[in-house]
Structure 1
Amino acid sequence: MTRVKGWLCASVCALLVLLNGCGGYKEDGTVIRLAHGLDTQHPVHQSLVYMNDVLKELSGGEMSLVIYSSGQVGSEREVLELIQIGSMGMTKVSASSLEAFVPQMKVFSLPYLFNDENHYWQTLESELGSELLDAGQPFLIKGLGYFDAGSRSFYTTSKKVTGPDDLSGLKVRVMSSQSAVEMVNTMGGSATPISWGELYTSLQQGIVDAAENNPPSFYFSKHYEVSKYFIVDEHTSIPDVIVIGTHVWNQLSEQQKSWLQEAMSKATAYQRKLWAESTAMSLQKVREAGVEVMEVDKGQFQDSVKPIYERIKGTPLESLVDRIRQLGGQS
C-alpha cells in the first residue's frame, strides 16, 4: 500500500512538473512548493505560513511558497525523494528522517545528548549546525534552517511507565529511523516503525502499546484520546529541518537566496516562541482530557542508553558528539 501511495504521489508531482516546472516555478514570480505532514493548527505549519508572508514582503511579491500540509503529498521520506527528483521544492522534515540521506544527522537522534535547551540552540546556531545543514547537498538536498521540535517523551495506552524496565514487553512506535529503533530496543522496549498517519489507529487497535513524541504533536494528533499516560522522560531533542532541493536552490539568484534565508531566520525566531506556548498549552489540554502526565527520574533512562555511546566509539559519530559536548562545556 505504501509503495502504491508513493507511486501515486510521484506521478501526481511529476505531472505538476510537466505543467509548471520543478518544485520552484515561475508565473508572475518564483513560487516554491513546500509539503509537510503536520496539521494546519500545528505551530510548525503556522510558522511556515509566516515564513511565506515574510518572503513575499522581502521580495516585493517576487517570491512565495505554496504549502501542502497534513501529509497530502506523502510521508517525510516520500517527499524527500520527490525533492531529489525535482518534483517538490521544499519540506519540513525531522532530522531523524534525514538519516537515510545525510548520515551525520544521526547525531541528533542520540538520547540525552544536550545539557539543556540553551545547549541545544547553541549547537544548532554553531558552525557545526551549519555544516550539518549543508551535508545533504551531495544527495540533492540542502538544509535552510532549524525549527524547534522540543523534546520527545513516551506515551502509553494502558501501562504506566516510570522507568525503562517498564518498557519491557511494550511495542513502541518509532519513526523510520535506525537510531530510534536502537534507542527503544536498548531501553528494553520493542521498537515498531509505523508511519505517523497510521499511528492513531495503531494505538487504538493495540497494534502498538506506546509511542514517543513531543507534547504538541501528542495533542494535535489527538493521540491523547487513546493514550492514558504521558511520561516526561525527554529522551531526545531532535530538531526539525527546513529542506530545499538543490535543483531549486541552484536556480535562485543570490538576491533570492538572501530573501529566502532571511525569511527562514525570522520564521525560526517566530516558531520558537510559538513552540514554547504550544508546549505549555498542549500539556494543559491533555491533562484536562484525563491523561496522567508523569515526571520521572531521567537518570534511570540515561543509564539505560549508555551502551549506545559505547557502540559509537571510534566512529565519525563520536567526533560529532565530542564537538557538541564541548559546546556545552563538557570534556
Structure 2
Amino acid sequence: MISRRTLLGSGAVVAAGAGVATAQSAGRTTITAVDVHPTDYPTVEAVRWMGQEIERETSGRISFRIYPSGQLGTETDTVNLARFQVLDIARVYLGAVNNMFPATQPLALPYVFRDEAHMRRICDGAVGQAILHTFERRGLVGLAFYDSGFRSIYNARHPIHTPADMRDLKIRVPRSDIFIEMLDAMGANATPIPFGEVFTGLQTHLIDAAENNWATFQSTRQYEVARYWSQTDHCCAPEALLMSKARYDALSSADRDLIRAKARESVPVMRALWDEKQATARRTVLEAGVHFNQADTEAFHRAVGPMKQRWMRDETIATTVRRIDAHD
C-alpha cells in the first residue's frame, strides 16, 4: 500500500509523473483516489462506484485504487498532491480549500442556500459548472459536486439556543477565513485544526465544540465526546471531486469523456447514499443519548449578517450570491 510518507518522499512527484506514461504504454491505467472519510461513507462509495463503472466499460484497462480515512493526509494535503500529479483524484470539502480557490467562497457563506434541494440545483446548474471550471487555473479538473449537508453546532458543554450561548466556546472550524469569521461572528472562539484531530481535541478539551453534518458527527464517533447537538443549519457548502489536470490531460479524449460522464453519473448515486446515511446517522446519535435542540436560526442569521455583507463587498462574490438567490 502507498503510504503518505512514500508519496511525499524525495522523487515522488517525478515518479508519479513518469507512472502516467508507463501505465498508458503498458495499456493499463490505475487512478488513485483519496478521501478523509471512512470506506463506507457516501462520498467514498460514490467514487468506488465510479471506478467500478469505468473498469467495467474499459474491460479493466482503467482501474481505481481508493485510499479512504485520511490515509494520505488532510484535504489540503491531497489537493496539493493532485495538483502536482502525486495522486489523481481528491474529494474535498469546499470549506477546507476556499482560501486556495476563491471562486468557491460564495458557496461557503452562511445561510446562502434555502435547503438541500436548492443547493443541488445550484451545483448542477450554470453557477456550479462555472465554479468547477475555475479549478483548471491551478492544475485541477472539477469533475462534480457532492453533498455535504447542512452544518450545525455540537459541543461538550451545554445546549446552544442563541449566539449568546456560544460565548467562550472554542469551536473547531476548517482552515478557512470564511469559517473563522463566521464562527467568531456567532460569538465563539473559532479554532482551526485538521479534521482528523477533532475527536481527540474534544476528548482532551483542546476544543469545546465543532460544526458539521449528522453523517460526519456519527461516522467519526464525535458524538461520544460531544453530547449536545444544536440545529443551526448555518452552512450548506458542498464538496468537490477534483482530478489532477496533468493526469487528466494525459488520457485519451475518449477516456477523458468517460471519466467526466461517470463522475456526473456518480452524483445521484452519492445523493441517494447521502440521504440514507444522514437519516441513519441522526437516528443513531439520538438513540445514543445525544441531547438535541433547535437553535434560534433567526438570531444566528442576524449575528452573521454583517460578516456576510463584508464578504459581499467583493463584486464577484456578490454577483454569484445574487444568482443563487434568484434561482428557484
Indicate the TM-score class for this superposition, using the shorter chain for normalisation.
over 0.9
Alignment partners' CA distance in 2, 1:321 and 1:147: 19
What are the Cα deviations for residues 155-179 of structure 1, in whole angstroms up to 9, with x where unaligned?
0012211111111100000011111
Structure 2: state its 5+ residue gaps: none
* Contact 2:16–2:87 under 8 Å retained in 1: no
2:194 maps to 1:195? yes
Q: Is this contact kept in 1: 2:175–2:192, CA < 8 A?
A: yes
The equivalent of 2:208 in structure 1 is 209
Structure 1 counterpart of 2:234, which letter?
H
Question: 1:187-238: CA deviations, max 9, x gaps?
Answer: 1101000111111110001000000001000000000010111111111001
Distance 2:305 2:70 in 1: 35
C-alpha distance in 2, partners of 1:183/1:313? 13
Cα shift at 1:274? 0.6
Residue 264 of structure 1: how far off its partner (Å): 0.9
Q: Secondary structure at the match of 2:96?
A: coil
Determine the C-alpha separation between the residues in 2 that align with 1:151 and 1:290: 21
Q: After the TM superposition, which parts of structure 1 deviate over 6 Å for at least 4 consecutive aligned residues?
A: 5-8
Measure, in 1, the Cα distance between the counterparts of 2:141 and 2:149.
22
1:138-217 equivalence runs, <5 A: 138-217=137-216
Q: Identify the residue that residue 36 of structure 1 maps to in structure 2.
A: 35
Could you tell me the TM-score, scaled by structure 2's length? 0.93
Task: Give the direction of change, closer, same or farther, for the CA distance of 1:25–1:133 in structure 2 (3 Å limit).
Answer: farther
Q: Spell out, residue by residue over 1:13-62, the C-alpha distance to the aligned partner (whole angstroms, 9 max, x if none).
A: 81783596159944542211111111112121111111111111232322
Q: Distance in 1 between matches of 2:4 and 2:307?
A: 33
Tell me if structure 1 keeps the 8 A contact 2:218–2:281: yes
Please give the secondary structure, in 1, of the residue aligned with 2:242.
strand
Q: Does the residue aligned with 1:154 lie in a helix, a strand or coil? A: strand
Q: Alignment RMSD, CA only?
A: 2.0
Equivalence for 1:45: 44
Q: Which residue of 2 aligns with 1:17?
A: 15
Q: 1:286: which partner in 2?
A: 285
- Measured in 2, the distance between the counterparts of 1:240 and 1:307 equals 26
Figure out how many residues of one structure are paired with residues of the other and give that number.
324
The aligned counterpart of 2:77 is: 78
How far apart in 2 are the matches of 1:100 and 1:78? 14
Q: What whole-Å deviation, never above 9, does each CA across 1:88-107 have from its counterpart, x for those lacking one? A: 11100011222132111111
Q: Does 1:309 align with 2:315?
A: no
* Percent identity (aligned): 27
Number of the residue aligned with 1:89: 88
* TM-score w.r.t. length of structure 1: 0.93
* CA 22–29 in structure 1, closer or farther in 2 if over 3 Å, else same: closer
What SS does the aligned partner of 1:275 have?
A: helix
Tell me, yes or no, if structure 1 residue 246 matches structure 2 residue 249.
no
Which runs of structure 2 are paired with 1:79-158 in the superposition (5 Å)? 79-158=78-157
Is the 1:59–1:259 Cα contact (8 Å) retained in structure 2? no
